[in-house]
Structure 1
Amino acid sequence: MPDLTRIDKPIALVLGATGGIGGAVASALHARGYRVRAMHRNPAPHARETPQFEWVKGDAMNREDIIAASADASLIFHGVNPPGYRNWKTLAMPMLENTIAAAKQRNARILFPATIYNFGRDVLPEPSEDSPQNATTRKGRIRVAMEERLREAAWEGIQVIMVRAGDFFGGAAAGNSWFGQVVKPGQPLRAIIRPATPGVGHQWAYLPDLAETFARLNERADELPTFARFHFEGFYDEDGMQMAEAIRRVAGNPNLKIRPFPWFIVPLLAPFMTLMRELLEVRYLWRVPLHMHNDRLAAFLGEEPRTPIDAAIRTAMAEIGVTLPDVQNVRHIPHPAAPSRE
């Protein structure tokens, strides 16, 4: 007997659904009535954890796997990355080419999360969507090439919707992000780590809000050009201290220690550790202000989805197992139906 709950539902293939942004977008699309198909090399444990998604076995490096997984899909979210920080040069572009090939065959739209690594110091502190992308890091140059390839794909007839955001927080996978350096996953909150130079602004993106943005843009895709690129403002920490102060408020402790990130050790470990080499390359983003304004996005959507920062941080810390001094079991706060702007 056919599953009547699946009849006539549009299908979205989400690549990278086990990651932070991929998982958040999968949830946002599912909430809007999409039948979300997620691909993974070992889907069984993820199918048990998130049975609302349709999990299929496949490898993003295998074109036939992606083409098979994209059957009847109207959109593909490309949120998959090489594991860790390894082999970006040899893996990132082939995976994107496979997604483009599947989108061509299925006549599907591509949604793509862009990064701040594309920008060099020459366009800081306030790059626009159309600023030159003179990346100074290896990963940044690869991301520039990926965006150029997506622009070419748009010329070839595939619609591409791209949203660029700051450093992620929110979701269980965020422990592997910079937010997982600011507070320690799985531990009581005893101190806050500050990566930024004092007085230097930095941009953060709460993943449920970013995913909601993708979902709203997708709903109005017919009103967008073939290649649409937006900046997501998120939470702008204007002096490098506002994130820490918000964490203090959530903890109910205005005297919670704030310690600088130990940047001095990064150059010492960089020759031996891939992660440290990557951190060293992007250090300039913590030394120079970066503030991407969302004028284009707000003009199109009317507003950017915005969860109040204290509520976002409380949820984000709970999701990575950070326990507060006075609240040991923080329950998940659902994304508000009508996000508000602080």
Structure 2
Amino acid sequence: MDTEKRTALVLGATGGVGGAIATALIGNSWTVRGLARNLDAARRSGVAGIDWVAGDAMNRADVIGAAQGVSTIVHAVNPPGYRNWGELVLPMIDNTIAAARDVGARVVLPGTVYNFDPAHTPVLSETSPQTPKSFKGRIRAELEARLERAAPEVESLILRAGDFFGPGARSSWFAQGMVAAGKPVRRIVKIARGAGHSWAYLPDLAQAFAQVLERPEALRPFERLQFEGIYDESGTVMIEAIERQVGRKLPVYRFPWWAMHLLAPFGGFAREAADIAAVWRHPMRMDNTRLVELLGAEPRTPLDTAMHQSLVAMGCIEPKAAQVGMPGLTLSL
């Protein structure tokens, strides 16, 4: 890629996904600009090398101003506190599309599985029908539809992945559900109600974004890709990986989905959880054929290494714990 075109604006760079993508791009010699309402807080976010600009993703003029001179806009921004999705998500993508149209940039979107019906899409591909049953899923489907309608005038790339884990993945089911951050792991909460859940190690996913953007000439005007990541076919792969890092078997408790459905009418987290509960009930695997066609191979850190780095970053184990194994097991990190 022409070095003069290696400048990206990352919206949501203080978040887990946006920060990881920004880090990967900087590591690949990109110039990265970030938009933040609070510059002091943004500079303390932990991502080094970002050129921060004051502004709000809800303000179209701010986004257009920050996008001047960039070739790529990474749309990894979410409403503050993940609240008011219905009022904020679509106006923000409209602002990003307007900015991309103004400067001739490609929009890059981290996609999710929420815009599919998990009961009828056990394997997700670029052609899988989007028939979401959840409120959040319908918003995500419309978000992607707006990018598709904007093409080819505004080019875009969507890379979908499963649930995140890894350093920086703070607002995730892994970090806020399966294990408790900041304390030794004494138990594991099993979120999935069945087998066949997809997970994405955040540094690998970020590298996939960075590597795909190295090949703009190979991308379609509207490109939808899937990141396979780790497919937990048995429902125990992630649990056993945690146990290998801790060095012993741990009590495993089921997540109280029944309570989420019971409390959903009162709003808050319970309503949000109940809305997307189906993705934890049905198997969903990512078909990464097109991604592998572009890259040759998907970035893939060995699971034990990824789990070790995740738990260390969360403050759950010390780095030396990588040397501890369960009887009969040898860890290779």
Superposition TM-score, scaled by structure 2 size? 0.91
1:274 to 268, 286, 299: 268
Which amino acid letter does the alignment assign opposite residue 308 of structure 1? P
User: Match of 1:99?
Assistant: 96
User: Match of 1:182?
Assistant: 178
Structure 1 unpaired stretches of 5+ = 1-6, 331-342
For 1:235 and 1:114, the matched residues in 2 are separated by 16
Residue 326 of structure 1 and its aligned partner are, at CA, apart by 7.0
For 2:247 and 2:62, the matched residues in 1 are separated by 49
Residue 301 of structure 1 and its aligned partner are, at CA, apart by 1.1
2:253 to 259, 263, 266: 259
C-alpha contact (below 8 Å) 2:228/2:285 kept by paired residues: yes
Residue 159 of structure 2 is aligned to residue 163 of structure 1: yes
Identity, % of aligned positions: 48
For 2:320 and 2:103, the matched residues in 1 are separated by 52
Residue 278 of structure 2 is aligned to residue 284 of structure 1: yes
Aligned to 1:54, what secondary structure does the other structure show? strand
Residue 28 of structure 2 is aligned to residue 17 of structure 1: no
User: Match of 1:249?
Assistant: 244
Residue 20 of structure 1 and its aligned partner are, at CA, apart by 1.1
User: Match of 1:334?
Assistant: none
1:27 to 12, 23, 36: 23
User: Match of 1:226?
Assistant: 221
C-alpha contact (below 8 Å) 2:9/2:33 kept by paired residues: yes
For 1:142 and 1:313, the matched residues in 2 are separated by 32
C-alpha contact (below 8 Å) 1:77/1:110 kept by paired residues: yes
Deviations 1:115-170 (A, max 9, x none): 10011145321132111100000010000001010001113x11111101000111
C-alpha contact (below 8 Å) 2:121/2:128 kept by paired residues: no
Residue 278 of structure 1 and its aligned partner are, at CA, apart by 1.4
Residue 44 of structure 1 and its aligned partner are, at CA, apart by 1.2
For 1:9 and 1:222, the matched residues in 2 are separated by 13
Matches within 5 A, 1:308-319: 308-319=302-313
User: Match of 1:62?
Assistant: 59
User: Match of 1:136?
Assistant: 133
C-alpha contact (below 8 Å) 2:118/2:283 kept by paired residues: no
Matches within 5 A, 1:140-159: 140-155=137-152, 157-159=153-155
Aligned residues: 320
User: Match of 2:40?
Assistant: 44
Aligned to 2:225, what secondary structure does the other structure show? strand
Residue 275 of structure 1 and its aligned partner are, at CA, apart by 1.7
Residue 83 of structure 1 and its aligned partner are, at CA, apart by 2.1
Structure 2 unpaired stretches of 5+ = 325-333
C-alpha contact (below 8 Å) 1:230/1:294 kept by paired residues: yes
For 2:171 and 2:139, the matched residues in 1 are separated by 21
For 2:5 and 2:30, the matched residues in 1 are separated by 6
C-alpha contact (below 8 Å) 2:5/2:70 kept by paired residues: no
For 2:107 and 2:164, the matched residues in 1 are separated by 21
Residue 325 of structure 1 and its aligned partner are, at CA, apart by 11
Pick closer, same or farther for the CA change 1:8–1:131 going to 2, 3 Å.
closer
Pick closer, same or farther for the CA change 1:292–1:51 going to 2, 3 Å.
closer
Deviations 1:69-119 (A, max 9, x none): 111111100000112332111100100010011101111111111110011
Superposition TM-score, scaled by structure 1 size? 0.89
Pick closer, same or farther for the CA change 1:326–1:105 going to 2, 3 Å.
closer
For 2:200 and 2:319, the matched residues in 1 are separated by 25
Structure 1 segments (4+ residues) deviating >3 Å: 48-51, 324-330
Residue 316 of structure 1 and its aligned partner are, at CA, apart by 1.2
1:293 to 287, 290, 296: 287
Residue 270 of structure 1 and its aligned partner are, at CA, apart by 1.7
User: Match of 2:231?
Assistant: 236
C-alpha contact (below 8 Å) 1:58/1:65 kept by paired residues: yes
User: Match of 2:120?
Assistant: 123
Residue 9 of structure 1 and its aligned partner are, at CA, apart by 7.3
Which amino acid letter does the alignment assign opposite residue 163 of structure 1? L
C-alpha contact (below 8 Å) 1:189/1:324 kept by paired residues: no
Which amino acid letter does the alignment assign opposite residue 156 of structure 2? V
Residue 267 of structure 1 and its aligned partner are, at CA, apart by 2.1
Aligned to 2:100, what secondary structure does the other structure show? helix
For 1:216 and 1:261, the matched residues in 2 are separated by 36
User: Match of 2:80?
Assistant: 83
For 1:319 and 1:206, the matched residues in 2 are separated by 13
Which amino acid letter does the alignment assign opposite residue 79 of structure 1? A
